[in-house]
Structure 1
Amino acid sequence: MKISYNWLKEFIETDKTPAELSAILTGTGLEVESLEKVQAIPGGLEGLVIGYVKERIQHPNADRLSVTRVDVGSGEDLQIVCGAPNVAAGQKVVVATVGTTVHPSAGEPFKINKSKIRGEVSEGMICAEDEIGLGTDHGGIMVLDADAEVGSLAKDYFKINDDYLYEIGLTPNRADAASHLGTARDIAAFLKIGVKKPDVSAFKVDDTSRTVKVVVENEAACPRYSGVTISGVEVKESPKWLKERLAVIGIRAINNIVDATNYVLHELGQPLHAFDADAIKGDTVIVKNYPEGTIFKTLDEVERKLSADDLMIGNAEAPMCIAGVFGGADSGVKASTKNIFLESAYFNAVSVRKTSKRHGLKTDASFRFERGTDPDMTVFALKRAALLIQEIAGGKISSEISDSYPNPVAPFEIEVTYKNIHRLIGKEIPHGEIKSILTALDIQIVGETGEGLSLKVPPYRVDITREVDVVEEILRIYGYNNIEIPTQIRASLNTSVRPEKDTVQNLISDILTANGFNEIMSNSLTKSAYSSDQDKAVKILNPLSSDLDVMRQTLIYSGLEAIAYNQNRKNADLKLYEFGKVYSLNEDKYTETQRFAIFLSGTDKQEQWNQKANPVSFYNLKAIADGIISRLNIGDLTLEESTCSKLAWGMQYKRNGKQLVKFGKISPEALKKTGVDKDVFCADFNFDMILAAVRKNKIVYQDVSKYPSVKRDLSMLIDKSVTFGQLKQIAERTERKLLQEVSVFDVYEGDKLPAGKKSYALSFTLQDNEKTLTDKAIDSIMQKLIYNLQKEAGAEVRR
């Protein structure tokens, strides 16, 4: 949201600088994301002064040039060569002195230097209006009024006021602040000053010659509808002040009628719409819903099919406007319009939000209506706009104000206690200060006891409906920075030795960071195209965009998006990890699960003079996954193949029949969805299962064995379908006490082997912590291993 500093000061009297008001706004919850100086005219007429032409003589070497002597109030006259035909002694003029940069209406800025023109010294420039950005006329220099003060600044003479633009990150709950008036209210409450609203006392009905009947058929979707007719207007370009005011906040001027409604929208926060009154058939405005599929052409010349749930503003024959969202092509203000019907309404926020989403239309009006506007503002805004239109477009008020408001919106009634205020804020604020803040926020105190207050909150504060909301209002105006940080923090000691979530997460983060990984944090909202099962997707009822319309079902796509972003910027060697929640819908029950994922792409190590850059592989990923599992001391795992739509192929560790982690190479389909063009390997952990397993761990310290370990190797021929994981499990079941480690150090598949077979060479590490192993004991263990590998895996052991 854009707010003008100069415009803001029309509502409050303060000498605070733009930077000081920025700090106040941020401190009260309206975060200022940027503060920018805006010049009404490029260059702001800096360096230009008012001068007096004392003398003008013909240039001795040029027929079309003059040599002038100009007083600019500096004590010494300047000699300036001028080519304008209208320059003469006795004139007050605008002078650009040496060193000044001028900004012409057309062309690039240029700097004024001392120079010689046809042999005569020139110490500045006497300016035409197009040369300094004040207009387009280049017929001669600007000749000012005789009362112009010599030596004064040109920007003061022309009343050029620079402005400052606040970019405020407005949160969805603060619909009341979506205007200059709303923003001023917060500043006024903080500074304990009043707010000046525009004066509409001059509004009067001239006659009732053009009365338009208003009928509201859907009062639930339109609780209040106000309107008035203005006849005899002249549609033309807006005055300069209005165009400049709108331009500062990024609004393009259209014509004086539309600009007036936009001005009031951003001034008061009340959307308005102007209809061509001659296009209102039957002189009747009807607020209703039309049949499903009704065709309606909007202002952008697009024909849209209406839903039966779309609230429309129509006339006796046809729809004219999508209520609160967008106007129609046939009823809008045109250059030929002479009479207008001005609408100011209060629409149901949910109705507008659904219609806006349904048609993909986001406008300044819908932005405010779908968050909640002020039902008590419609008539005031109508009078303000009508007076402004009369001022800049002429015309007369030719009807009474129509105001359909059968069921007035009541204020929110809330009870608050001082005890809860103090408890939630963490500081005892004087009761008088609390009441002063509430009054400044336009919250009415209707009752008071020793324990608390009874309040009535105005309907425009749609975010204040509970006691805790009132406490938040008190705190933000009192000032977050005024809540002292205690010098001591008291807490009960936690004697539990069970690792908590943060402890385990930090441990894993330390492992990954030490191995060169970077942590990423992604939005839990994502696009529905990433959902593997649309029926289980948790859909957002009011998505911010089509790319953020569901809750994520996996961390894989958010990781791939980060990889794509980096690869597109020539950063292809990536090691990333992320902790986060995933969401799903199962039989009308929502579930969320804690997970974490690690990603590898590119090369494992950078190429150096003594080593080549090798691309990452599945085994780099598995080593990291195994390292995490080993560090957390999670046992009783089985390694199996994994089938997953997002993995081209992969493996999984299961514990008690449930998947702890799946890891492998990302499928080409998943890479294509995110625009990744290189191989990516991913491990996706169930973090909830990890926490459960770690909390049941009982780690007992063991002395380092004093006795040596022994290694024995076996070479065997096995079926291609047999995995190392199966062989390892057989070995661990065979010898539970002395077998310390099983590893594979050679794999061979080729033509020299029988069909369907592969050769494995395994290494077994044996160790007894109580005595040195004898050859007899070792041989006995190896015989058992050979027997069970032959029996359970069909291995042919090579001697």
Structure 2
Amino acid sequence: KRAALLIKEVAGGEISSDIVDVYPNPVEDFKVEVTYAGIKRLIGVDLGKEKIKSILAALEIRIEDETENGLSLRVPPYRVDVKREVDVIEEILRIYGYNNIELPRQVNSSLQYSVKPNPTKIRNLVAEMLTAQGFNEIWSNSLTKTSYYENNSVFQIENTVKIFNPLSNDLGSMRQSLLYGGLESIAYNANRKNPDIRLYEFGNCYFFKGSSLNNNPIRNYREEEHLSLFISGDKEAANWALPASRTSFFQLKSYTENVLKRMGFSIASLKTEAVSNEVMSEGISYSINGKKLVEFGTIAAKVLKAFGIERSVYYADFSMDTMFVELKNNKVVFAELPKYPEVRRDLALLLDKTVQFNQLRDLAFRSERKLLRSVDLFDVYEGKGVPEGKKSYAVSYILRDDEKTLNDQQIEKIMQKLVSTYERELGAQLR
């Protein structure tokens, strides 16, 4: 149309007809219904019927029918983005001018918020952190072998949810733990020359606890959400700069504590207990308010042998349901950056071999709650100069007062108190 108009103006031609569109299937005009009330509601201003009709005419939108409440319109097909009432109103507003709409004195809005803690957000935060640390997420089958729970003192067969008419013996029960599905994945990868593994999985576990007291059979069944971590093989691929080193229990401990910290738990506030059973040869559990948050450790050689796994596997099992409940009571408290310097003091302690570092840390925080910031183990020694059945721990302590600089007298008093506590509770000796 513009080209024809230019020819007429410049060359003196004459337009002989309307535009003829030669097309196999002519495109119909879009039919749109608009109401005056809808226009006023979205724009916020009563433009008047005549103003609306004049704008529509300028936009080449034909009015097919008019009622008291609104208009039936035919929109040309070249306006491909004007197919709904709201599209027509947007075009009207564009021509009328956004600048001609006065800003309201008050704006109303509906705010959406989720109940805290939001499980989905927490899962995503943890998943992003683990993925950044080199983990891969797996999804194992909720249906598993019943034989995994036979003669098993940790996951007892009586608590297994069994399937009626299972497809096969390998899919005869609902899983009580994410452990066996993860071990199947590790064995599968190891058999295909991929032994260096870091895996995590979010999943539900299922339990049966029959009771004649329950009138409703559904109450005999329980479903829990868990998170599992698995590491095995070498920490990193072998290269010329660094010698190959295997994953370890302490590496898993670091990953486990990182997950707890990311979810807002303070490791110092958790109760620590040793774990040893037919599934884990050695391990640790963290609890809060008498509820177990996580249990992690080294998978027993007997269990690994059943899967044909030759390398050590380290496994952590988080109770997500428990953590979600405890997070509701976990308040984030603002604290400004420290203005006063920290002080470090070290102790070399002679202890029985049975004493664990977690016992030292727990006693330290119980002894000094206000000024003690962290307790770390930086050396363990056994050998020449250390009596049989003993070991030497080198432990560092960070002290800080947020209101003033600590003096030597205060520091010495705290350290003497710690030493006395260790001597009384653990039979420790200063080296």
Q: Is the counterpart of residue 676 in structure 1 residue 294 in structure 2?
A: no
Asked if 1:660 corresponds to 2:290, the answer is: no
In the TM superposition, what is the alpha-carbon distance from 1:716 to its structure 2 partner? 1.1
The alpha carbon displacement at 1:604 in A equals 0.6
Contact 1:557 1:674 in 2 (8 A): no
Structure 1 residue 610: Cα displacement? 1.0
Structure 2 partner of 1:609:
240
| Separation of aligned partners in 2, 1:586 and 1:516 | 38
Match of 1:611, SS state, is coil
User: Which runs of structure 1 show a deviation greater than 6 angstroms over 4 or more consecutive aligned residues?
Assistant: none
Aligned to 1:782: 415
Secondary structure at 2:116 match in 1: coil
Match of 1:549 among 172, 176, 196: 172
Other structure's SS at 1:760 match? strand
Structure 1 CA distance, aligned partners of 2:308 and 2:112? 48
Q: What is the rounded CA distance, in whole Å, between the counterparts of 1:659 and 1:714 in structure 2?
A: 31
Give the direction of change, closer, same or farther, for the CA distance of 1:522–1:731 in structure 2 (3 Å limit): same
Alignment of 1:693-708 (within 5 A): 693-708=326-341
Q: Residue 535 of structure 1 aligns with which residue? A: 158
Q: Alignment partner for residue 122 of structure 2, among 504, 512, 518?
A: 504
- In the alignment, residue 130 of structure 2 is paired with which amino acid? L
- Find 1:600's aligned residue among 226, 231, 239: 231
The answer to whether structure 1 residue 757 and structure 2 residue 380 are counterparts is no
The residue that corresponds to 2:65 in the other structure is none
Do residues 574 (structure 1) and 197 (structure 2) align?
yes
Higher radius of gyration, 1 or 2:
1
Shift of residue 600, structure 1, vs aligned partner: 0.1
Q: Cα–Cα, structure 1 residues 509 and 575, in superposed 2: closer, same or farther, change >3 Å? A: same
Q: CA separation in 1, counterparts of 2:202 and 2:222?
A: 17
Q: Which residue number in structure 1 is paired with residue 260 of structure 2?
A: 629
Aligned in 2, Cα 1:679/1:492: closer, same or farther, shift over 3 Å? farther
Q: CA deviation at 1:586?
A: 1.4
Pairwise CA distance, 1:611: 0.4
Equivalent AA in structure 1 for residue 166 of structure 2: P
Question: 1:496: how far off?
Answer: 4.8
What is the Cα deviation at residue 760 of structure 1?
A: 1.0
Q: How far off its partner does 1:528 sit? A: 0.6
Tell me the SS of whatever aligns to 1:736: coil
Q: Which amino acid aligns with 2:291?
A: K
Is 2:140 the partner of 1:522? yes
Q: Mapping of 1:53-202 within 5 angstroms?
A: none
1:638 touches 1:725 (CA, 8 Å); kept in 2? no
Structure 2 distance, partners of 1:501, 1:557, is 25
Distance in 2 separating the partners of 1:630 and 1:679: 26
In structure 1, the residue corresponding to 2:385 is in which secondary structure? coil
TM-fit CA distance, 1:752: 3.0
Shift of 1:547: 0.5
Identify which of 359, 373, 380 aligns with 1:726.
359
Name the SS of the counterpart of 2:162 in structure 1. coil
**Residue number in structure 1 paired with 2:404:** 771
Q: SS of the residue aligned with 1:615?
A: coil
Structure 1, gaps ≥5 residues long: 1-486
- AA aligned to 1:666 is I
Distance of aligned partners of 1:522 and 1:785 in 2 relative to their CA distance in 1, 3 Å threshold: same
Q: Deviations over 1:551-598 (max 9, x none)?
A: 001100000011111111111111000010111111341111110100
Q: Is the 8 A contact 1:518 1:576 kept in 2?
A: yes
Percentage of matched positions with identical amino acids? 46
Paired amino acid for 2:355: V
2:49 maps to none
- Alpha carbons 1:718, 1:760 under 8 Å: kept: yes
Please name the residue that 1:563 is paired with.
Answer: 186
Deviations 1:497-552 (A, max 9, x none): 61211111111111111100000001100011111322211110011111000000
Distance 2:234 2:140 in 1: 24
Q: CA deviation at 1:656?
A: 2.1
**1:675 to partner: Cα distance:** 2.5
* SS class of match (1:547): helix
Cα displacement string for residues 441-480 of structure 1 (whole angstroms, at most 9, x for unaligned residues): xxxxxxxxxxxxxxxxxxxxxxxxxxxxxxxxxxxxxxxx
Unaligned runs of 5+ in 2: 1-85, 87-108, 212-219
Q: How far is 1:648 from its partner? A: 1.8
Partner of 2:208: 585
TM-score, normalised to structure 2, is: 0.69
Structure 1 letter corresponding to 2:425 = E
CA distance in 1, matches of 2:115, 2:291: 26
Deviation at 1:667, TM superposition (A): 1.2
Letter in 2 for 1:550: S
Q: Following the alignment from structure 1 to structure 2, what is the Cα–Cα distance between the partners of residues 675 and 527?
A: 16
User: Contact 1:578–1:596 at 8 Å: present in 2 too?
Assistant: yes
TM-score, structure 1 as length reference: 0.38
Would you say the 8 A contact 1:717–1:795 is kept in 2?
Answer: yes
Structure 2 distance, partners of 1:591, 1:643, is 25
> What is residue 100 of structure 2 aligned with on the other side?
none
Match in the other structure for 2:274: 641
Change (3 A) 1:527 1:793: same
How many Å separate the matches in 2 of 1:732 and 1:530? Answer: 41
Match of 2:170, SS state, is coil
How many Å separate the matches in 2 of 1:736 and 1:526?
A: 47
Distance, in Å, in 2 between the alignment partners of 1:675 and 1:540 is 27
Q: Distance in 2 between matches of 1:516 and 1:696?
A: 31
Task: Determine if contact 1:639/1:653 at 8 Å carries over to the other structure.
Answer: yes
Q: Is the 8 A contact 1:606 1:612 kept in 2?
A: no
Aligned to 2:81: none
Give, as a single letter, the amino acid of the residue that structure 1 aligns with 2:258.
G
1:580 & 1:750 partners in 2: Cα distance?
A: 45
Q: Aligned residue for 1:735? A: 368
Once residues 222 and 425 of structure 2 are traced to their aligned partners in structure 1, the CA distance between those partners, rounded to angstroms, is: 41
- Distance in 1 (CA, whole Å) between partners of 2:297 and 2:412 is 38
Measure the CA separation in 2 of the matches of 1:725 and 1:753: 21
Task: Compare 616-625 and 600-609 and name the one that shifted more.
Answer: 600-609
- Structure 2: distance between partners of 1:689 and 1:789: 32
CA drift of 1:722 comes to 1.4
CA distance change for structure 1 residues 656 and 599 in 2, over 3 Å: closer, same or farther? same
Q: Secondary structure at the match of 2:169?
A: coil
Would you say the 8 A contact 1:634–1:693 is kept in 2? no
Cα distance, 1:714 vs. partner?
0.5
Separation in structure 1 between the aligned mates of residue 299 and residue 233 of structure 2, nearest angstrom: 13
Task: Give runs of aligned pairs for residues 201-600 of structure 1, distance below 5 A.
Answer: 493-496=111-114, 498-531=116-149, 532=152, 533-588=156-211, 589-600=220-231
Shift of 1:492: 6.4
In structure 1, give the amino acid aligned to 2:230.
Answer: F
Q: Secondary structure of 2:253's partner? A: helix
- How far the C-alpha of 1:756 sits from its partner, in A, is 2.1
